[in-house]
């Protein structure tokens, strides 16, 4: 008995000692990341078709390009090497030659990235049947492989930002020729790129799973695994973040959301460019808006600063011009009219409407647009303008406004931060809705065509910027559209999660994950 | 029996055809351009046109309709316009989620609702009856998503008994059941409220009948009278309600699926609608119609097992 007790005691002591003196493994930092996205499912992971915010976010982890924006920035001046190590342009700016980095590998053993892949990819980007962004590449005349590591691109006319077209954004992403040809239609869910992360599996409606591309040319990613959860419901996403089931989650551009989220300990909120510029586009051909005084009255009646303040000053500010403020050559001296309801009333009276006017606007039921429309309604009322809102489901609204069914269109958009994109799509006469070349010119504005076209081909960058600023002043002066607010998107994250760069902007509209992203311990 | 089945199947085919036609027309009357939804508002006009051609949306309506009917007859529901996957695959991926949730909720609702209804009937006009009637009224009036959020706040956030995200990533059966608990409860609450009320009123009617008095007179114990004599005769109305409600439950589970972040038929049809995925929408409505037809048929057939007096002609 005694012996038995003794043995037991010795055993327990030995075990305790073993536990106490065993080398304690350093607690490894977490390497598996779970994100909660405001999306219902994967749409299309072929980068040349990825149009939704969520798909764009994901393709930026999977694919690379010839050049890339510095992580965390949307400034075209930050564009630097990605696959291309170096490049040079001919004096006329029409022929560009890129030297590729050797030894960069596609995911899943699809071999080395070569000039042939680049040629294939850029040819795909400019083919309307295989790309949604073909319009951006209209000026590309030919893309050739000079040798396996040299690519030459010839343009038929000058474009405002050659590097922008070839950066890690939309049609600039490079796809593997072999994988695309092998996988055909299924490439959209089984994509092959050379970015830091690769698709492991997709559970429809539940999650997309990624693993690190250990052979990534900038180094092995610090994260090993990413689970991208589809949490389309705002409340569910918030609760999942609160419960710690996701490490970061898409947020809401809403003051109360921000307050609620920041109240949780260990939480950070990132707001990032490109800010979406919401504008009230006015059809200048339809009475009473064919009278400049009526349009000016509308401009005096609205107060962008008030709307921005209502949404939340942390991520929303008043719009100032005809392009978003992160655009090259943006000017806040475009002549946007100040808030002055009395002046609005006086102008209306002068235009022959002493009792004010009543107008109807089709309005999207998208919550962010709906909120602005309702504030707009009350602001206009103060100036004697009765705004009747006709709420329409968002997809229906998108088609109806393209059929010119609403003289007023409240539209929010961010574009590639070179003004040519925003100005051309919203204010060039080629883009007027209803035309075969239509884009999103809802105002039928044609007053700045000359400046937009001149800037596009201008060689001198100072003169180019002068043309763009002149275009902004002309459009705002003629009140084709009234800038209301600029709103950045927001994501909440646990403070331990470090993006690995200063997250001020993302051309992919969501958090960029790089080989540097990690969890601090 | 055979002629009954044949007749019912004939009706089912006609119903399906009408629904197919109606759905085909409705989704196309609805404004909204699938190409624009798929490619986004920055797509070039040429890309939009190319996609419309590929999807066959540039064809005249009768041509599209004829192609749609031909495919449907061959059992081909087409491919989703958004994901490019076969519609059948899309549906089969999420169907198990919907079925497990609906069945679990139905089972739980019936297991709790029938005894509650019986008890309320037996205690008619007394406290348990009032409490149960009040609770079932609450269950019926409470929107599913409110119940869902409240359940999440209490059991997932405060108590941390269950996860917020109720699907995916579970490796064990126990984990799977833990994920399913809250959504099942949210749906079962409504189911239970319905069943309680139907059981109660059916029981009250049966309890007042002569054969119950006879059973009591010949000395059957109170519990035997209630559970054997009375409840047995209530099963037909209860089954009818359950059968009818099952269809509604499958359709209504959409809010539960959204709040609990579960994939499912409800969520799939909602996203097909908002994204104007015509083919997926059509395919799903065909499947829904089939399910309602099948459930109704099964309900009718169940009557025969529950009550030998029912004959199928």
Domains, chain B, with CATH or none: 2-73 (no CATH), 87-306 (1.10.3720.10)
Name residue A202's beta-bridge partners.
A208
Nearest to B258 among A232, A399, A436 (CB): A232
User: How confident is the model at residue A14, as a pLDDT?
Assistant: 52
| CB spacing of A128 vs B49 below 8 angstroms | yes
User: How confident is the model at residue A16, as a pLDDT?
Assistant: 47
In angstroms, the CA A272 to CA A489 distance is 6
Chosen for mutation from A184, A208, A263, A395 (greatest number of chain B CBs closer than 10 Å) is A395
A432's CB contacts (< 8 A; 6+ apart) are A438, A441, A444, A446
Task: Quote the DSSP letter at residue A2.
Answer: H
Contacts of B276 in chain A (CB under 8 A): 395
**Residue A21 is encoded by which pair of tokens?**
């003196």
| CB spacing of B163 vs A207 below 8 angstroms | no
CB pairs under 8 A between A and B: 153
| CB spacing of B46 vs A134 below 8 angstroms | yes
Cβ atoms within 10 Å of B31's Cβ, excluding its own: 16
Contacts of B176 in chain A (CB under 8 A): none
Q: Which residue of A has its CA nearest to B38?
A: A51
**Residue B287 is encoded by which pair of tokens?**
């499947």
Contacts of A134 in chain B (CB under 8 A): 44, 46-47
Domains, chain A, with CATH or none: 32-250+495-519 (3.40.190.10), 273-488 (3.10.105.10)
In angstroms, the CA B276 to CA B279 distance is 9
| CB spacing of A440 vs B41 below 8 angstroms | yes
Q: Which residue of B has its CA nearest to A240?
A: B164
| CB spacing of B168 vs A203 below 8 angstroms | yes
DSSP reduced 3-state for B224: helix
User: How confident is the model at residue A413, as a pLDDT?
Assistant: 94
Higher pLDDT, B216 or A221: A221
A40 contacts B271 by C-beta, under 8 angstroms: yes
- Shortest distance between the Cα of B110 and any Cα of chain A, in A, equals 28
User: How confident is the model at residue A6, as a pLDDT?
Assistant: 46
Contacts of A41 in chain B (CB under 8 A): 83, 271
Q: Over the stretch A191-218, which tens digit does the pLDDT of each residue have?
A: 999 999 999 999 888 999 999 999 999 9
In angstroms, the CA A121 to CA A117 distance is 6
Q: Which residue of B has its CA nearest to A241?
A: B164
- Shortest distance between the Cα of A508 and any Cα of chain B, in A, equals 14
User: How confident is the model at residue B9, as a pLDDT?
Assistant: 81
- Shortest distance between the Cα of A20 and any Cα of chain B, in A, equals 32
In angstroms, the CA A380 to CA B135 distance is 48
Contacts of A367 in chain B (CB under 8 A): none
**Residue B116 is encoded by which pair of tokens?**
């509650």
Strands (E), B74-213: none
pLDDT band at B313 (very low <50, low <70, confident <90, very high): low
| CB spacing of B38 vs A51 below 8 angstroms | yes
Higher pLDDT, B307 or A398: A398
Q: Above 0.85 for ipTM, yes or no?
A: no
Task: Quote the DSSP letter at residue B156.
Answer: I
Q: Which residue of A has its CA nearest to B47?
A: A128
- Shortest distance between the Cα of B68 and any Cα of chain A, in A, equals 21
- For residue B296, the surrounding DSSP H or E stretch is helix B278-306
Which residue is associated with the tokens 């040319």?
A: A217
Which segments in chain A show pLDDT lower than 50? 1-3, 5-6, 16-24
**Residue B147 is encoded by which pair of tokens?**
């119940």
| CB spacing of B168 vs A232 below 8 angstroms | no
pLDDT band at B312 (very low <50, low <70, confident <90, very high): low
Contacts of B175 in chain A (CB under 8 A): none
| CB spacing of B261 vs A235 below 8 angstroms | no
Nearest to B168 among A207, A393, A436 (CB): A207
Q: Over the stretch B104-137, which tens digit does the pLDDT of each residue have?
A: 998 999 999 999 999 999 898 899 999 999 988 8
| CB-based burial, B208-222: b 16+ in 10 Å, e otherwise | eeeebeebeeeeeee
Contacts of A129 in chain B (CB under 8 A): 47, 50, 54
Cβ atoms within 10 Å of A82's Cβ, excluding its own: 25
Q: Does B165 touch chain A (CB under 8 A)?
A: yes
Q: Looking only at Cα atoms, what is the longest distance across chain A? A: 112
Higher pLDDT, B234 or A153: A153
Closest CA to B262 of B197, B183, B147, B146: B183
Nearest to A396 among B32, B82, B84 (CB): B32
Nearest to A229 among B47, B165, B264 (CB): B165
Contacts of B267 in chain A (CB under 8 A): 40, 205
Q: Which residue of A has its CA nearest to B83?
A: A43
Name residue A485's beta-bridge partners.
A278, A318
B:112-151 residues touching chain A, CB 8 A cutoff: 149
Across B2-18, average pLDDT: 83
**Residue A300 is encoded by which pair of tokens?**
């005096």
| CB spacing of A51 vs B85 below 8 angstroms | no
B:175-194 residues touching chain A, CB 8 A cutoff: none
* Angle in degrees, CA A174, A82, A418, rounded to 5: 80
- Shortest distance between the Cα of B61 and any Cα of chain A, in A, equals 18
Nearest to A245 among B47, B163, B263 (CB): B163
**Residue A462 is encoded by which pair of tokens?**
């100072």
- Shortest distance between the Cα of A428 and any Cα of chain B, in A, equals 14
């Amino acid at each position: 008995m005694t012996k038995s007790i003794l043995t037991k005691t010795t055993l327990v002591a030995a075990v305790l000692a073993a536990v106490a003196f065993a080398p304690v493994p350093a607690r490894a930092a977490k390497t598996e990341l779970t994100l909660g996205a405001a999306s219902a499912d994967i749409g299309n992971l072929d980068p040349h078709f990825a149009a939704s915010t969520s798909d764009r976010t994901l393709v930026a982890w999977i694919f690379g390009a010839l050049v890339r924006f510095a992580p965390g920035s949307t400034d075209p001046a930050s564009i630097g090497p990605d696959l291309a190590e170096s490049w040079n342009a001919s004096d006329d700016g029409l022929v560009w030659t890129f030297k590729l980095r050797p030894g960069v590998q596609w995911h899943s053993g699809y071999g080395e990235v070569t000039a042939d892949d680049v040629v294939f990819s850029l040819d795909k980007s400019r083919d309307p049947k295989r790309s949604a962004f073909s319009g951006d590449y209209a000026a590309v005349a030919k893309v050739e492989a000079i040798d396996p590591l040299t690519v030459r691109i010839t343009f038929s006319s000058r474009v405002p930002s050659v590097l922008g077209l070839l950066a890690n954004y939309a049609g600039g992403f490079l796809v593997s020729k072999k994988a695309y040809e092998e996988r055909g239609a299924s490439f959209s869910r089984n994509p092959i790129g050379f970015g830091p992360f690769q698709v492991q599996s997709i559970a429809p409606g539940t999650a997309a799973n990624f693993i690190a591309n250990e052979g990534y040319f900038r180094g092995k990613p610090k994260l090993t695994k990413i689970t991208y959860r589809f949490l389309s419901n705002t409340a569910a996403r918030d609760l999942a973040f609160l419960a710690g089931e996701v490490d970061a989650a898409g947020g809401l551009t809403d003051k109360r959301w921000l307050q609620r989220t920041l109240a949780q300990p260990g939480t950070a909120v990132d707001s990032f460019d490109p800010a979406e510029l919401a504008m009230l586009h006015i059809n200048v051909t339809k009475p009473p808006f064919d009278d400049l005084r009526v349009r000016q009255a509308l401009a005096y009646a609205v107060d962008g600063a008030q709307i921005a303040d209502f949404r939340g000053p942390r991520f929303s500010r008043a719009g100032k011009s005809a392009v978003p403020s992160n655009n090259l050559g943006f000017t806040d001296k475009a002549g946007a009219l100040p808030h002055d309801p009395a002046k609005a009333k006086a102008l209306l009276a002068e235009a022959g409407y002493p009792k004010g006017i009543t107008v109807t606007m089709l309005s999207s039921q998208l919550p962010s647009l709906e909120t602005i429309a309702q504030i707009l309604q009350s602001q206009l009322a103060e100036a004697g303008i009765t705004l009747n809102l006709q709420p329409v489901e968002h997809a229906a609204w998108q088609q109806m406004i393209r059929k010119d069914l609403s003289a007023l269109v409240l539209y929010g958009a961010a574009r590639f931060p070179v003004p040519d994109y925003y100005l051309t799509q919203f204010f060039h006469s080629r883009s007027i809705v209803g035309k075969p070349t239509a884009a999103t010119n809802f105002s039928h504005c044609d007053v700045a065509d000359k400046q937009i076209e001149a800037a596009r081909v201008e060689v001198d960058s100072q003169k180019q910027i002068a043309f763009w600023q002149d275009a902004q002043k002309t459009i705002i002066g003629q009140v084709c559209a009234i800038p209301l607010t600029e709103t950045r998107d927001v994501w909440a994250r646990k403070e331990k999660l470090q993006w690995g760069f200063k997250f001020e902007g993302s051309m992919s509209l969501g958090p960029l994950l790089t080989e540097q992203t990690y969890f601090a311990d | 029996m055979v002629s009954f089945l044949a007749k019912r199947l004939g009706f089912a085919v006609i119903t399906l055809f009408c629904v197919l036609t109606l759905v085909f027309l409705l989704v196309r009357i609805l404004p909204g351009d699938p190409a624009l939804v798929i490619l986004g508002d920055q797509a070039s006009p040429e890309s939009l046109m190319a996609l419309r051609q590929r999807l066959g949306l540039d064809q005249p309506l009768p041509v599209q309709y004829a192609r749609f009917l031909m495919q449907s007859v061959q059992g081909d529901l087409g491919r989703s316009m958004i994901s490019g996957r076969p519609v059948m695959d899309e549906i089969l991926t999420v169907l198990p989620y919907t079925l497990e949730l609906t069945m679990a909720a139905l089972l739980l609702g019936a297991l709790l609702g029938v005894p509650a209804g019986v008890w309320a009937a037996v205690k008619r006009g007394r406290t348990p009856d009032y409490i149960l009637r009040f609770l079932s009224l609450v269950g019926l009036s409470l929107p599913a998503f409110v119940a869902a959020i409240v359940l999440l706040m209490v059991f997932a956030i405060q108590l941390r008994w269950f996860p917020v995200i109720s699907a995916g990533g579970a490796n064990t059966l126990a984990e799977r059941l833990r994920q399913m608990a809250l959504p099942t409860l949210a749906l079962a609450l409504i189911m239970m409220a319905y069943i309680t009320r139907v059981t109660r009123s059916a029981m009250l009617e049966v309890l007042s009948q002569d054969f119950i008095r006879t059973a009591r007179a010949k000395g059957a114990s109170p519990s035997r009278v209630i559970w054997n004599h009375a409840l047995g005769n209530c099963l037909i109305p209860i089954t009818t309600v359950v059968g009818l409600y099952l269809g509604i439950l499958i359709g209504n589970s959409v809010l539960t699926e959204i709040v609990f972040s579960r994939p499912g038929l409800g969520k799939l049809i909602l996203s097909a609608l908002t994204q104007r995925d015509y083919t997926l929408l059509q395919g799903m409505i065909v499947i829904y119609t089939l399910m309602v037809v099948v459930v109704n048929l099964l309900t009718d057939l169940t009557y025969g097992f529950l009550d030998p007096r029912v004959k199928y002609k």
